[in-house]
């Protein structure tokens, strides 16, 4: 009797062996594309114990509603033609909660890598990047916005994927979840950040040659922005009066907004009075800038709209002043004074922005005289005590925001005190006798004693005048009459006083009194 090909037990064993063989074959194929690839891929999307998902979650959990925005989309140039990419390279988070500094902006996304001459890696966000990086920037200027990542330097940067991986894709979008008015009537919309990221290993995994692949892993998640529905203050324009400006000078100031849901859009309200001529309002920043051309006070009405379509309007005031006239000192000289006699004179300025401040820049005023500030004039006053010539320079400064100043060199001559210098000799001199010697002494009084005489005009050739005031000479047989003009100077210092005198002289009589 022929033995059957398979007993029941042999059949069962054969089937079991076949199942094992099939399982081994399937694992060699499916395992490469399934369990192995996922476990190996997961290992490349973390560094220093922190995964990309962990980092995104950490940053987003600290952000309030309205504080998260995708970076992008970008436009790719293909053959010189711009083609919208539509891919968001990353997210940027600003306006942090108290858990983080409000002066920083964190950006996470696909990035490209470059190296410095010293070998240090640097990253920049780019939708075509092959790694994921985190960068933190300093927010400047009080804008509460991320800086321009193309020109700004991060204060911190780090990879979130390593050198064995390539980021094939990374996309973000914001989903708005409406508030529940019954629960939180004053809240604003809650948001959810959704993202998907695909990472691929650089090296293929060994296994069945026909089935070996580069392991990949796709991560997807949705993260709430703000852990609870957030109440917010009403949208408000905080500015009422902006800085003043000057015709012809560059101007810039901002309309400050608070509350509502960032970001904001500024505009000039319909029907509003215009801005000062020469100024414009930047809709994305609220900055009013330009060069004003016309003086006046302007009250334009500004409108602000937030991201939740809330809006508010408010008139603001801007005053533009005419450009000031150049500051100058009009006084160029001062009269002299006399010892013991009260002195008071003004030094006058014009232009600039009043009031003025006056100072003695250099030199010395006459003793006991003082300089007192005033507008438009300063006053130099007092009773001088010492004769001399005093040279000094005064300075005037105006009250402009950037003060202007002007200077002027001046002098004051202080003469000695006493009666004024006077010639006391009568104007009609005794006759000069023909052919006889002539002598006559001139006299003076007042001023500072110690007089000096000199000829001015009208003297005949035979007559002379000494510095002591003596007229002398031998009169001719005929001539005259003569009109003599002389000058006398006293001994005042540093500048003598002088007086001119005119005398008449005729010829007459006989020598020795004969007839």
80 assigned to some structural domain: no
**What pLDDT does residue 70 have?**
83
81 assigned to some structural domain: no
Smallest Cα–Cα separation from 190: which of 202, 174, 206? Answer: 174
Instruction: Read off the pLDDT band of 27 (50, 70, 90).
Output: very low
Query: Residues 381-428: pLDDT tens digits?
Result: 998 888 888 999 999 999 887 889 999 999 998 877 677 889 999 999
94 assigned to some structural domain: yes
Whether the pLDDT of residue 48 is over 80: the answer is no
Instruction: Read off the pLDDT band of 96 (50, 70, 90).
Output: low
Is 392 in the same domain as 450? no
Does residue 187 or residue 417 have the better pLDDT?
A: 417
Cβ neighbors of 401 (< 8 A, separation 6 or more) are none
Q: Containing domain of residue 94, as a range?
A: 40-75+86-225
In angstroms, the CA 196 to CA 213 distance is 21
**What pLDDT does residue 79 have?**
58
Instruction: Using DSSP, state whether 16 is helix, strand or coil.
Output: helix
368 assigned to some structural domain: yes
Is 335 in the same domain as 389? yes
Cβ neighbors of 250 (< 8 A, separation 6 or more) are 289, 290, 291
Count of domains observed in the chain: 5
Cβ neighbors of 252 (< 8 A, separation 6 or more) are 287, 288, 289
Is 50 in the same domain as 160? yes
The torsion angles phi and psi of 4, rounded to 5 degrees, stand at -60, 150
Is 71 in the same domain as 213? yes
Counting residues of the chain whose pLDDT is more than 70, the rounded percentage is 75
Is 357 in the same domain as 483? no
Instruction: Read off the pLDDT band of 46 (50, 70, 90).
Output: very low
Whether the pLDDT of residue 182 is over 90: the answer is no
User: Considering the entire predicted model, what is its pTM?
Assistant: 0.37
Is 349 in the same domain as 276? no
230 assigned to some structural domain: no
> What is the rounded average pLDDT of the residues 97-117?
76
Whether the pLDDT of residue 63 is over 90: the answer is no
Q: Interior CA angle at 52 toward 50 and 56, to 5°?
A: 105
According to DSSP, the β-strands at 405-415 and 337-338 are parallel
| Domain boundary pick from 303, 321, 339 | 321
Is 199 in the same domain as 264? no
Distances (CA, A) of 152 to 37, 70, 125, 130: 38, 18, 12, 21
In angstroms, the CA 6 to CA 94 distance is 75
Average confidence score pLDDT of the chain: 78
């Amino acid at each position: 009797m022929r033995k059957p090909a398979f007993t029941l037990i042999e059949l069962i064993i054969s089937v079991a062996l076949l199942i094992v063989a099939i399982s081994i074959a399937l694992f060699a194929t499916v395992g490469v594309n399934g369990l192995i690839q996922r476990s190996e891929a997961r290992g490349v999307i973390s560094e220093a114990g922190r995964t990309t998902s962990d980092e995104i979650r950490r940053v987003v959990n600290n952000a309030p509603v309205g504080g998260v925005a995708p970076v992008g989309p970008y436009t790719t140039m293909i053959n010189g033609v711009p083609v919208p990419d539509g891919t968001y390279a990353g997210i940027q988070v600003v306006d942090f909660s108290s858990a983080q500094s409000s002066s920083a902006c964190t950006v996470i996304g696909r990035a490209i890598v470059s190296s410095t001459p010293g070998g240090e890696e640097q990253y920049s966000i780019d939708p075509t990047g092959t790694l994921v990086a985190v960068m933190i920037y300093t927010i400047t200027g009080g804008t509460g916005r991320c800086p321009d990542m193309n020109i700004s330097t991060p204060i911190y940067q780090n990879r979130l994927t390593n050198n064995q991986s390539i980021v094939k894709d990374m996309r973000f979008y914001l989903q708005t979840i409406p508030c529940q008015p019954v629960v939180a009537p004053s809240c604003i919309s809650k948001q959810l950040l959704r993202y998907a990221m695909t990472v691929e290993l650089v090296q293929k995994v060994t296994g069945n040659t026909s089935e070996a692949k580069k392991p990949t892993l796709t991560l997807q998640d949705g993260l709430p922005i703000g852990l609870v529905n957030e109440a917010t203050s009403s949208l408000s324009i905080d500015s009422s009066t902006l800085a003043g400006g000057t015709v012809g000078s560059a101007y810039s100031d901002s309309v400050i907004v608070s509350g509502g849901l960032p970001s904001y859009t500024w505009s000039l309200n319909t029907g509003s009075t215009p801005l000062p001529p020469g100024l414009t309002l930047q809709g994305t920043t609220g900055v009013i800038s330009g060069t004003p051309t016309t003086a006046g006070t302007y009250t334009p009405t500004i409108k602000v709209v937030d991201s939740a379509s809330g809006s508010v309007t408010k008139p603001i005031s801007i005053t533009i002043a005419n450009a000031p006239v150049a500051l100058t000192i009009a006084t160029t000289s001062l009269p002299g004074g006399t010892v013991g006699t009260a002195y008071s004179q003004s030094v006058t300025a014009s232009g600039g922005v009043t009031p003025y401040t006056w100072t003695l820049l250099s030199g010395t005023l006459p003793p006991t005289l003082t300089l007192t500030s005033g507008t438009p004039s300063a006053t130099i006053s007092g009773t001088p005590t010492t004769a001399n010539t005093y040279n000094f320079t005064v300075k005037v400064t105006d009250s402009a925001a950037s003060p202007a100043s002007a200077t002027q060199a001046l002098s004051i001559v202080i003469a000695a005190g006493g009666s004024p210098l006077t010639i006391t000799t009568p104007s009609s001199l005794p006759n000069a006798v023909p052919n006889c010697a002539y002598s006559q002494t001139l006299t003076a009084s007042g001023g500072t004693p110690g007089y000096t005489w000199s000829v001015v005009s009208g003297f005949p050739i035979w007559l002379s005048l000494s510095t002591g005031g003596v007229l002398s000479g031998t009169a001719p047989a005929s001539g005259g009459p003569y009109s003599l003009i002389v000058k006398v100077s006293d001994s005042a210092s540093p500048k003598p006083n002088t007086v001119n005198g005119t005398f008449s002289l005729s010829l007459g009589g006989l020598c020795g009194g004969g007839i």
